[in-house]
Structure 1
Amino acid sequence: MDSSNSKERGVAAVEMLLVLPVLLILLVGIVEISRIFIQYTTLNKAVQAGARYALVDIYGSQPDGALAPDSQIKNVVVYGMRSSGTESQKVLSGISTSDVSVDSSDAEHVTVSAVYSYVPIFSKIPFTNTSLSMDLTASASMRRTGT
């Protein structure tokens, strides 16, 4: 009985060695994809806040269709406030005002866009050469009042 019991333990160890890489890849994938969604949602909300700020902050104090200054709109996207802040105050680490663009060429809409370079926890998925580094892009457009 002892020999068959040890054989079963040996088979279980081999099965574990075969299944472990697959489980690790799944775990890393789930963690990274979750982080991607969280950071994309944060970027999307920041861009929406910037577009809203572009129009709402000056509403009632300027002529119809006027916008807040581009620098303040970009600061709202990056720092969550109209003045610039420190690296620790950024909505997403690694994003800067140069990653944000404000398009007010359309007389009816203002569009705020941002590109964020996602930096994964793991540089590569284990046992593969697949990297999860990517650029996340978000854009929000709001209609100007009075147009």
Structure 2
Amino acid sequence: MNRHIAFLLVITLSFGFNEACKECTLIIQNLLTPGSNLKVICESNRKDRVNGEVKFKSNPVQINFKEAYLERTTWHCMLRQGAYSQYFRAYRGSAPVPRCGELRVYIAKPDGIYLSKNRGPEKLDYRWNKN
């Protein structure tokens, strides 16, 4: 009986917490070379899909979402530019209690894809693959 009450308490707190929880955000920027276009295709494990194209230093692709409860939220993306591409896991949430307000900024540069987590420093995360 105590386990049942504890489980209900966790669920109740989680739903209350979710109402105040800020959305998470993925941002994909193009800093490749002038005149370059970056094709973006991202999909979540809940089958949410975002397609876009980002011109050099123009408005980035931005994906806002809330993490699911009791299920890990993931996003996978494919970035393509010229003869190069990269498929990668752009976000892996925590489970069973979601994170709030997470920010992942992916910056496409000539030598690879850089990542800044929660406004931290940029680090090379992936190198480009030749198609």
TM-score, length of structure 2 as denominator length: 0.29
Q: Normalized per residue, which structure has more strand?
A: 2
Q: Normalized per residue, which structure has more helix?
A: 1
Larger Rg: 1
